[in-house]
Structure 1
Amino acid sequence: MNMRPPPAPVDWLIAAVMAAFAFAEELGGRTMVPDRGQPLWWLVAATATAGLVLLRRRAPFTVLVVYSLVSAASFAYVGGVSFAWQFYTQLVLLFTLVSELPPRDPRTVAGLAATALFIGSMMFTTAPPAGLGDVAVVMGMVSISAGAGFSVHRNRQIAVQARKHGELLAREAVTEERTRIARELHDMVAHSVSVMVMQTGAARLMLRPDQLTERETLVVVEEAGREAVEELRRVVGLLRADSDEDGLAPQPSLARLEDLVEQVRDAGLDVELTVEGEPGPIPPGLELSAYRIIQEALANTLRHAGPTRAAVTVSHRPHSLFLEVVDEGSRDGRTRAEGAGHGLVGMRERVALFHGRLATGPLPGGGYAVRATLPLGTRFFGGTAVRRGSGEAAV
């Protein structure tokens, strides 16, 4: 069952204000009809109107049309009534209608026609008839109400389009980064399979002439391995863009961090590299991801903070690899928005690939920190175990 949410607190407030204004005006005798006294049903109408104001967002068209027709009928029946709260209520309902519905919606056009009926009934049933000045004031207030509603509707549409555009860009960034990661991992897998094929061939050549069964088995393995390498090369060719390298350059690793730090220093970033613990066996894919995370973190520091100081820490722990890149922030006072940019997208994807944890955010004393924990010995891929936030990462 689709349950609609209750009216927002601001709607209750507006309805209460309109009801209080209507009661004050009615009890003050402003709508007193000559020779008829103060009819009680005006107070009932004021209460019903407050209810319509409360529900106006749920059915803006229905509420406005009902109110306009009932009000026009009451104006014709009573005649000569001096009022204010009825008119202000109409302005509120008109604003809600044009702010909730598109300008070219038939209901919007019908709502404007109902408002015109309300205004006409109000102007022609008063005694004495409204003058040009009164007409100008009324039309001006109606125009302001409708114009404000149209402006709110347009701004909402712009905000929705901006949000959808941002989501599209974010999805494209994730897709591009995943393609890049897949391309690098395919290169590594292709290299590993090639080595396996070569070792299988070497083992086949070492067999004795009478080991026919073993020889046939290794031949099958070699052929399957060569076919796998060819398929991997085709896949890599599809993933690699025209502007990419040809794939012959060696994949970066943590052993090349010093070269990366020197490059960043040449770009104006004062970097201090610290390596803690004894390096153990690290899966090639995880090591490549660790290098890319540090590379992207330093690139983000240069991009957002400019020339400043940064510290890179690589900690080899018994069951995990901990990475930390901390900078002192921009020297000109610039701040970096949390989660902004495509660089963090790549970090999250690489950390999630190995079910690691990622913490990013500004530091209390200034600067920005990127902390990643990559578990060693991971034999599966995928997953979304990534944590975002500021402060220390839980390790």
Structure 2
Amino acid sequence: MSRRPPPNAIDWLLSVAVVLLAIAEEIGDHLLATGRPHPGWWIPAVIAISVLVLLRRRAPFTVMCLHSAASVAALAHFGEGVATWQFHTQLLLLFTLLSELPLRDPRVVAGLAATAAFVSMMMLTPAGSWGVGEVTVALGAASVAGIAVRRHRQIAVQARERGELLAREAVREERVRIARELHDVVAHGVSAMVMQAGVARLILRSDPVTARETLNVVEEAGREAVEELRRVLGLLHTGSECDGLAPQPRLARLNDLVEQMRAAGLDVELSVEGEHVPLPVGLDLSAYRIVQEALANTLRHAGPTEVRVTVSYRPRALWLEILDDGPRDGHTRQAGGPGHGLVGMRERVALFHGRFSAGPLPGGGYGVRVTFPLPAEAGPGEAP
């Protein structure tokens, strides 16, 4: 059972409004009619009803029944007509009941019965100013408004839940795809280790120096494979099938990617800054995929436009920036949700404890910025 919300600012304002309306009507009308002060018996009733209004969303059924019972009892005892503020309060409570509880709830039926009793007693008293049509329209408007508000809330909740489900599914799919790629990286590394270990075994007696160097390579490849395997296990709790044995792309192949995007219509400018450093295979692959996805998103949402891709090797960090100028010729960027592209980029960056940002640029266009921290052993060298 869901908890009812505590009184908010609107509840307080409505409670005060009921008090002010009651004071204006009871005192003002009585002075105009008799020229004498109004008896004070109604003051406790107004205070009690204002408290009910304040708590209307916490217990809509109980509040409506209390108000209806008290009003009917007062009408039966005093025999006077229903004041405007009393009727408006009943309409408010009817609206609250229908907006907070589903129509199939038996408490709604009981609440409607309580309202019917209130209206019946009101029509039987000598009010004079209440017409059947007026009362019917007011009750119908309050009921329709309450049902519409509840339906709107239901749609909003369903949309939010559906969005959360789609987001979780997108994250799961992207993690599976990333894990498959890293699976290939580990598979290639282990295959190379097996081959090199076999070579070392064959030449161990005839060329021990070369065998020792080969074993050093095997050791280094093993460490890298273990690190990538740790990332895969941290990303997924279950294994996944390998998509193939083809080598995975790296930043060294960005020129090929740029040429493909140029052929597709993007005016891509690639800039590489700083001295190349050898990167872990998984990080190298993820950096390439982020640039690839960012360019694909630009082509998908902005169409043919200018894009600047910057790859910067900085001290202990790899920095990526993909900035586009937005659609050309006055065309607007196609709207769309975050989709799998941004989800996948965020997952890749989070996998290596990096920083990710994406969004519109102040002068127009869209930008993606990524920072990958590099391991301490990374040093100057040639890109693999």
For Structure 1 versus Structure 2, the TM-score category normalised by the shorter chain is 0.7 to 0.9
1:309 matched to 2:306? The reply is: yes
Selected match of 1:346 from 323, 344, 347: 344
Counterpart Cα distance in 2 of 1:32 and 1:126: 19
Equivalent runs, 1:74-153 vs 2, <5 Å = 74-126=74-126, 134-153=131-150
**Matched residue, 1:391:** none
- Residue 155 to residue 4, structure 1, CA distance change in 2 (3 Å): closer
Structure 2 letter corresponding to 1:97: L
The answer (yes or no) to whether the contact 1:329–1:366 under 8 Å persists in 2 is: yes
Q: Deviations over 1:110-152 (max 9, x none)?
A: 111111111111111235596xxx1111011101101100000
Local SS of the residue matching 2:339: coil
Q: CA deviation at 1:96?
A: 0.8
State the alpha-carbon separation in 2 of the partners of residues 39 and 104 from structure 1.
43
- The Cα of 1:39 is off from its aligned counterpart by 3.0
Structure-2 change in CA distance of 1:148 and 1:259 (3 Å): same
Question: Cα RMSD between the aligned structures?
Answer: 3.1
TM-score normalised according to structure 1 size:
0.81
- Answer yes or no: is 1:358 the counterpart of 2:356: yes
Residue aligning to 2:284: 287
In the TM superposition, what is the alpha-carbon distance from 1:44 to its structure 2 partner?
2.2
Shift of 1:156: 0.3
Q: Any residues of structure 2 matched to 1:41-56 within 5 Å, and which?
A: 41-56=41-56
- The answer to whether the 8 Å contact 1:99/1:153 transfers is yes
2:267 is the alignment partner of 1:266: no
Q: What's the counterpart of residue 239 of structure 1?
A: 240
SS at match of 1:342: helix
* Shift in alpha-carbon separation, 1:31–1:175, aligned structure 2, 3 A: farther
Alpha carbons of 1:348 and 1:338: their partners in 2 closer, same or farther (altered >3 Å)? farther
1:70-103 Cα shifts (integer Å, max 9, x gaps): 1011111111325211000000011111111111
Q: Structure 2 matches for 1:114-263, cutoff 5 A?
A: 114-126=114-126, 134-208=131-205, 239-240=240-241, 246-263=243-260
Displacement of 1:339 in angstroms is: 7.0
Structure 1: gaps spanning 5 or more residues: 212-217, 380-395
Relative contact order, higher structure (CA 8 A, sep 6+): 2
What's the counterpart of residue 377 of structure 1? Answer: 375
Contact 1:324 1:369 in 2 (8 A): yes
1:28 is aligned to 28
**What is the DSSP-based 3-state SS (H/G/I as helix, E as strand, rest coil) of the residue aligned with 2:155?**
helix
How far apart are the structure 1 equivalents of 2:89 and 2:291? 61
The 1:150–1:32 alpha-carbon spacing in structure 2 relative to 1, beyond 3 Å, is: farther
Go from structure 1 to structure 2 and tell me whether the alpha carbon gap of 1:301 and 1:15 turns closer, same or farther (over 3 Å shift). same
Give the aligned partner of residue 390 of structure 1: none
Name the SS of the counterpart of 2:315 in structure 1. coil
* 3-state SS of paired residue (1:349): helix
How far 1:38 moved relative to its partner?
Answer: 3.4
Q: What SS class does the counterpart of residue 29 from structure 1 fall into? A: helix
Paired residue type of 1:375: P
* 1:5 Cα deviation from its structure 2 partner: 6.6
For residues 41-69 of structure 1, what are the alpha-carbon distances to aligned partners after superposition, in whole Å with 9 as ceiling and x for unaligned?
Answer: 11221222112111111111111110011
1-side partners of 2:120 and 2:30: how far apart?
A: 21
TM-score by length of 2: 0.84
How far does residue 165 in structure 1 lie from its aligned partner after superposition? 0.4
Indicate the SS of the match to 1:88. helix
Cα distance change on mapping 1:174 and 1:22 into 2, 3 Å: same
1:389 — aligned with what? Answer: none
Retained in 2: the 8 A contact 1:330–1:367? yes
1:26·1:43 contact (CA, 8 Å) conserved in 2?
Answer: no
- Matched-pair contact (CA < 8 Å) for 2:318–2:371: yes
Gaps of 5+ in 2: 209-214, 230-235, 378-384
Equivalenced residue count is: 351
Q: Paired residue for 1:18?
A: 18
Q: Distance in 2 between matches of 1:313 and 1:373?
A: 12
Residue 387 (structure 1) aligns with: none
Residue aligned with 2:277, SS: coil
Residue pair 2:27, 2:37 contacting (<8 A) in 1 also? no
Tell me: CA distance 1:170–1:82, structure 2 relative to 1, closer, same or farther (3 Å). closer
Residue 64 of structure 1 corresponds to: 64
Equivalent residue letter for 1:71: S
Q: Distance in 1 between matches of 2:128 and 2:155?
A: 46
State the shift of 1:336 in Å. 7.0
Shift of 1:172: 0.5
